[in-house]
Structures are given as structure tokens and as C-alpha cells.
Amino acid sequence: MNKFVRTSVSTLVACLINISFGAWQSCNCSEKQGRMQIRDYDSLLLPTAKLYTNMWKFDHGRRAHFVDKQGRELSWTGEYEDARGFVNGYAPVQQNGLWGLIGTNGTFAIEPRFIDCGTYSEGLLCVADRSNEYFYVDKGGKDVFGKRFQCARDFSEGLAPVCVDGSWGFIDHSGAIVLNGKFDNAFPFSEGLASVVADHKFGAINRRGETVIEPQFDELGNFRESLAPFGKLSTDPARHSKLGSRMLYGFVDQRGRVVIEPKFYAANPFSEHRACVQDLNWSYVYIDKKGNPVLGPYEVASDFSAGFAAVFHNDHPCFINSRGDFVLDGKNFFAVRPFSSGSAIVFR
């Protein structure tokens, strides 16, 4: 898990829709890991006027709560320093600076004791302890493999990326390394492909470890709906963002062919037939698979999930449906996470 702590407001704003497990956690794997703004996990929307250098520490004792689609607090919800959405019946929550896991009734399956944790996936949870080592536990918190890694990520499609002795490979459900590609960085599989980094460039491999897309991109995200966002550094100053970003994003197919030219300042993978991107006007819009805007613009926006997306409108968070109708006004919320398994997380 690589730590990309960036202090500029421009980068923090660009990452609001892209914050995920591991994006901020440090490790000592490689100096050549490659930087990744394209994320495919949980996301957090904060008001852009109230950004803090440490985004995880909210002023005035703000706490996370779980709410339903009408914005009502679920009966069992506690107050957490941070929380992420339910996946496979469990949600990570943070109390006193440590992460644990709750079930759908709010009861702790794993009491908070980890400095970081991922998403409960394929019966396993990737966690980091106070020694900054990474390992996998079951839903009861028991160490499954008895192995520690310099860095690690969630299981997906039967494999998980891990870092050993400065190089990334993949383990299976026995904990054995089955793809030892000696990559500079590696990310979970999605639609049969995984993004990997070699010599500062992103490409993709299949589950046999064969190179499907040669390392050629400055960034490459997860494949969803047969497309993945990719990043390319622009040498044209006229195409750089107002605050200095040189990266432009487009989309490629599963053979690495460019389908949507790089013309956005940020891009997330497709979700529910739309992709959330930041256009050259510094606004967030949703595009179709031809790259045409279909919803927006918004001040900030997140991926669609369960038919809803979190956006910022008139300087406060709201939720929209697939038609762009505002269905839940979050003016009383400081920050929100998108819906997952019927609930959303709000901070107030």
C-alpha cells in the first residue's frame, strides 16, 4: 500500500472521488511504484472550501453515521471517527484511531485494533498492525496465513497483490505466491486483468501472469464494463490544469486500445454505464462510453452505486439518481460516502 500524501489543494480536490484503502498508508516496497490517482474502492466527498492537510481528522468532533436512502440514521448506527461502506455484509469502522469490522446489525465482528484495513472480500480482510506490517484475517479477526507482507491489497478474483522484499506479486487463498512478477507495484484483478507497474509505466496482466497490455501508460485504473481509465502526462502547457496538474486521463479497452482520448483532469472507472470525470473546466461530469457528458456539471462527484451518486451542489453534498434528479439533500452533512448495500455514510 503506497502513500501518496499530497499537500496541494488541487491534488486533494482531484482525489476526493478517489480515496481508497491503501491510498494513504505508507510502506517501504519500492521507489518505482508509480503514482495512482485512479481508484476503484471507497470514496469520500468533502466540501472543497474546508479541506484539511490531514483529511482524516475532522474539526469539531465530526463523526460518521450510517443512513438509509431517506437520510435517516439506521437504528443500530454508532458514532465512528471514520467508516467505509458495507461489502459482503461487513463494513470497516474506525474508533480511537484503530479500525475494526462491523456486521449489518452494527455489532463488532472484529474490535478496532488495526491501523488500517481493506474491504472484506472473498472471506478475507487485509489489515495492517502497529508494526506497519500487512496480513490477512478472517471475519473473526484470526490471522489466516501466518505471514506478514511489506504491503498488501484486497483479494479479488481469487488473488491478492502483495509486496515482498520490495517487489510485488500475487498470492492465492492458501497464502502462496502464485504470480511472482517482481513488479514495482500491482493492483487487484478486475474483469480478468490487473494493473501492474514496471519501469515507471503501467500495463496489465491476466490471471496466468501473462502480459496483456504492455507497460506504456503513466497510470492505469481498474477495468469495469470492459474499459479502464488511463493517465498520460501532457507536454502541452495549454492542457495543464490551473493548479499545475500535467496528467490527462482517457479510457482504454482490454487490449490497451484507446477508446476515449485523454482529455480529463481526473477519471474513475465506469460504474452503472457512466464514468465520473473532471473536465478541462475543472468541473465534474458523468460521461458515456463515447466520452460524451450525460450528467453534470457538479462541484465534486463520485461514482454511481446502487442507482445513486454523491455530488456536491451549492457547496453541500447531495445524492442524485441515474437521471440526475436530486433525491437526498445533505445540507446538514459535512461529508458523505456513496451508497453501498442500501446505506450511505455521512459525517456531521
DSSP 273-305: TBEEEE-TTS-EEEE-TTS-EEEEEESEE---B
Q: Residue 66 region, left (φ>0) first, then alpha (ψ -120 to 50), else beta?
A: beta
pLDDT at 232 (0 to 100): 93
Q: Determine the residue type at 83.
A: A
Q: What is the pLDDT of residues 36-51, one digit of tens each?
A: 333 334 566 655 433 3
Q: What is the pLDDT of residues 141-188, one digit of tens each?
A: 999 999 999 999 999 999 999 999 999 999 999 999 999 878 999 999
Q: What is the pLDDT of residues 77-135, one digit of tens each?
A: 888 999 999 999 999 999 999 999 999 999 999 999 999 999 999 999 999 999 999 99
pTM, full prediction: 0.85
pLDDT at 40 (0 to 100): 38
CATH 3.30.70 fits domain 9-341: no
Question: Chain-wide mean pLDDT for the chain?
Answer: 84
DSSP 218: S
Q: Which of 300, 245, 302, 246 is nearest to 49 (CA)?
A: 300
pLDDT at 38 (0 to 100): 33
Distance, in Å, from the CA atom of 206 to the CA atom of 278, rounded to the nearest integer, reads 29
Domain boundaries, the chain: 9-341
Distance, in Å, from the CA atom of 282 to the CA atom of 110, rounded to the nearest integer, reads 41
Percent of the chain at pLDDT above 70?
80
4 CB contacts (<8 Å, ≥6 apart)? Answer: 23, 24, 35, 36, 37
Distance, in Å, from the CA atom of 82 to the CA atom of 94, rounded to the nearest integer, reads 5
- In the three-class reduction of DSSP (H, G, I as helix; E, B as strand; rest coil), residue 50 is classed as helix
| Average pLDDT, integer, range 284-312 | 94
